[in-house]
Amino acid sequence: MKTNNNKVSVIGLGSMGTTLARLLLQKGYEVTVWNRSSGKADDLVKEGAIMAKDITEAIAASPVIVICVYNHQASQSILDSPEVSALLHQKLLVQLSTISPKEAVEAELWASEHGASYINGGIQAAPTQMGQPDTPILISGKEATYRIAEPILKVFGGAISYLGEKIAASPTVDLATLSYIYGASIGFFHGARIIESQGLSVAEYARIIAGISPSFGEFLKHEGNMVHTENYAITESPLRISVAATARLEQTAIEAGINARFPSFAAALFKKADLAGYGDQEVAALIKVLREQ
């Protein structure tokens, strides 16, 4: 792979791909861009990007190809043609589209069959949050490949978590963090319904949540370490407190006449943990219920 120049091609100019191309331009890279539909490169060209006339020109232009499109199928529909794949020998493919763990395994294999190195990334930020020292990006793939891609990845975000050579690691952690944020979001919006039912301010509630979120993060870090070490002796929060708290959430929702599905779901899980005898363990023992089918 040629790495002695600063040429990068960016494939996909949606809101994220455009941001990635712009950040590279701002750092002095020679950036060639391509997008399925026309018009999206116009601003970038004014800022110094080179617009490839077709995908083969975009691939041929640089040793490093950053791909950021809708999903794996979109990525393969762009790359998996005889004309394009013939140009991939000795290229470095940096996959920043969100894909699944299985797709990452397939993509790495497909790339190596075409003589390309491959690294997979999960972007954990919105376009306007990119390029900051604390912008989080999950990366997995061969360490030697990661080291070559690292200067470019650092342009996109300073808080890179390199998760090792197992290519499925970054999409797996990406899915796990999505699980966290969707679970928290459903809880947040149910909380907003509680607030509304009492005629209080949802904006004020949201401000309070933002303030306490870092300490919740520290708490979850502690609970995660307890799961990791299989140590459920009470240290911070006995599970029985959560049995009572989620039952109270459910009861309050029923009394207030608001949708009770989320607290009913949470209360049932904690009740099951209590019945299994985990009440006098740390709340992290809930994982033992989730390990059952």
List of residues contacting ligand NAP (CB under 6 A): 12-17, 35-37, 40, 68-71, 74, 77-78, 97-98, 123, 126-127
Residue labelled with tokens 């991939």: 88
Phi, psi angle pair for 48, to nearest 5°: 115, -5
CB of 137 to ligand NAP, least distance (A): 9
**Region at 37 (left for phi over 0; alpha for psi -120 to 50; beta for the rest):** beta
CB of 6 to ligand NAP, least distance (A): 23
Residue number, 93 or 247, with CB nearest to ligand NAP: 93
Residue number, 12 or 101, with CB nearest to ligand NAP: 12
Residue number, 74 or 268, with CB nearest to ligand NAP: 74
Task: Give the nearest residue (CB) to ligand NAP.
Answer: 14
Residue (of 168, 176, 169, 174) closest to 105 by Cα position: 168
Residue number, 37 or 215, with CB nearest to ligand NAP: 37
Return the structure tokens found at 62: 């640089």
- Find how far residue 209's CA is from the centre of its chain: 22
Q: How far apart are CA 102 and CA 55, in angstroms?
A: 26
Residue number, 99 or 266, with CB nearest to ligand NAP: 99
CB of 18 to ligand NAP, least distance (A): 7
Q: How far apart are CA 45 and CA 8, in angstroms?
A: 14
Beta strands per DSSP E along 17-89: 30-34, 50-51, 64-67
CB of 92 to ligand NAP, least distance (A): 19
Return the structure tokens found at 281: 């363990």
CB of 201 to ligand NAP, least distance (A): 28
Return the structure tokens found at 6: 């600063």
